[in-house]
């Protein structure tokens, strides 16, 4: 084990991390304490961790709950991870050909979501930007356009709070949204259209051309921000026909359903987790405006979509 002086310290999703390996993100200024740690081990150590459990090596993604309460995760050709029973330690073993940036993207996304759940922290599958000190989130499945829409806000000078994983905490009658890693994931053509330095990224994995793009300090928000609105993005089959853009507010019950559907981690389905997820959604739904959107799905219409969201947000903030 390394000495304390050689640990790297980070803060992400409102929790403090220390890591044996340097991550591709800014380090924290306050390394006095940590809530979880990341350690790296050689491949030979993982059979011992698995205690005879054999993963199915043909699968692209493997998720195995182990007898001691820990969780084994593997992305084929990328990395293997072990999350401790209490979520305080993540053990990592990257594949020899995997890029560090790609491994770190999964580590601080999918892998850390398992650690958060073990700590009782639910996360949403959302991308969030900051508009005049207010957090505005976009909900939807992978590939639905959350990051693309967020990039159009960056283009206008607004800041990114988090891309993909959203952790919120209740403070009185307000939900605080916490910053994620300083990056965004975009396809090269989209990045080139919307970001000044858009193509300076690394491939997310071998099966997609999507890039992981590190953002500059002036493009990110580093402090928790009040969450004012969440916009549920349409699927491609649910996109508006013609030029119309529609935004409608959901009732609290429908908002709760959308929050349940928008969990970032849908692999853990035991009764205790499902109860925790429902309680979080029920508590959060009354505290944030949840809207459903329909709009034309082309880059050319993004400025109009962005303007519609900004106008709607102004009404939310004014209590209209």
- Is residue 197 situated within a structural domain? no
Task: With cut-offs at 50, 70 and 90, classify the pLDDT of residue 44.
Answer: confident
Tell me which of 118, 139, 166 is where a domain ends.
118
Domain-located, residue 88: yes
- Cα(155)–Cα(31) distance, rounded to whole angstroms? 33
CB 240 within 8 A of CB 246: yes
146 and 263 share one domain: yes
The tally of domains found in the chain comes to 2
Pair 73, 20 in one domain: yes
Domain boundary among 94, 118, 142: 118
In a domain, 192, yes or no: no
Same domain for 34 and 129? no
pLDDT tens per residue across span 120-174 = 999 999 999 999 999 999 999 888 899 999 999 999 999 999 999 999 999 999 9
Pair 185, 210: CB distance under 8 Å: yes
- Assess contact for 166 and 126: CB atoms under 8 A: yes
| Residue-number span of the structural domain to which 232 is assigned | 124-182+219-317
51 and 171 housed in the same domain: no
Separation of alpha carbons 278 and 256, rounded Å:
8
Q: Are residues 70 and 169 in the same domain?
A: no
Domain assignment present for residue 212? The answer is no
Place of tokens 């990395």: 79
Q: How far apart (Å, rounded) are the C-alpha atoms in residues 10 and 38? A: 11
Tokens 């559907």 locate to: 261
- Tens digit of each residue's pLDDT (9 = 90 or more) over 83-133: 999 999 999 998 877 788 888 989 999 999 999 999 999 999 999 999 999
Within 13 Å of residue 245, how many CA atoms lie on the same side as its CB? 16
Q: Are residues 266 and 282 in the same domain?
A: yes
Residues 104 and 129 in one domain: no
pTM summary value: 0.92
Last residue of one domain, picked from the residues 103, 118, 133? 118
In the block, which residue shows the tokens 């994931």? Answer: 185
Say if residue 190's pLDDT is above 60.
Answer: yes
Looking at the domain assignment, is residue 199 inside a domain? no
Q: 309 and 248 in one domain?
A: yes
DSSP-assigned letters across all residues of 38-106: EEE--GGGHHHHHTT----TTSSEEEEE-TTS-EEEEETTTEEEEE-TTSSEEEEEE-TT--HHHHHHH
Strands 15-19 and 8-12 turn out to be antiparallel
């Amino acid at each position: 084990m390394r000495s304390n002086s050689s640990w790297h310290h980070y803060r992400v999703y409102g929790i403090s991390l220390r890591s044996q390996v340097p991550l591709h993100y800014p380090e924290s200024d306050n390394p006095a304490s940590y809530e979880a740690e990341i350690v790296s081990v050689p491949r030979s150590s993982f059979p011992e961790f698995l205690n005879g459990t054999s993963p199915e090596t043909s699968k692209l993604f493997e998720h195995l709950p182990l007898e001691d309460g820990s969780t084994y995760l593997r992305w084929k050709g990328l990395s293997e991870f072990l999350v401790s029973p209490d979520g305080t330690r993540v053990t990592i073993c990257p594949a020899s050909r995997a890029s560090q940036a790609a491994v770190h993207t999964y580590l601080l996304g999918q892998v850390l979501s398992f650690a958060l759940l073990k700590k009782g922290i639910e996360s949403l599958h959302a991308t969030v930007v900051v508009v005049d000190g207010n957090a505005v989130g976009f909900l939807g499945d992978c590939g639905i356009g959350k990051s693309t829409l967020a990039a159009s806000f960056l283009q206008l000078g607004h800041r990114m709070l988090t891309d993909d994983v959203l952790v919120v905490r209740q403070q009185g009658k307000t939900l605080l949204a916490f910053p994620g890693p300083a990056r965004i994931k975009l396809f090269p053509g989209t990045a080139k259209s919307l970001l000044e330095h858009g193509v300076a990224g690394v491939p997310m994995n071998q099966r997609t051309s999507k890039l992981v793009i590190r953002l500059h300090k002036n493009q990110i928000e580093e402090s928790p921000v009040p969450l004012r609105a969440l916009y549920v993005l349409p699927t491609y089959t649910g996109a508006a026909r013609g030029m119309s853009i529609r935004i409608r507010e959901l009732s609290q019950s429908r908002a709760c359903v959308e929050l349940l559907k928008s969990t970032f981690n849908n692999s853990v389905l035991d009764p205790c987790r499902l109860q925790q997820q429902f309680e979080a959604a029920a508590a959060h739904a009354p505290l944030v405006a949840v809207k459903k959107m329909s709009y034309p799905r082309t880059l050319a219409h993004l400025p109009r979509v962005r303007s519609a969201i900004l106008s709607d947000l102004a009404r939310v903030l004014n209590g209209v």
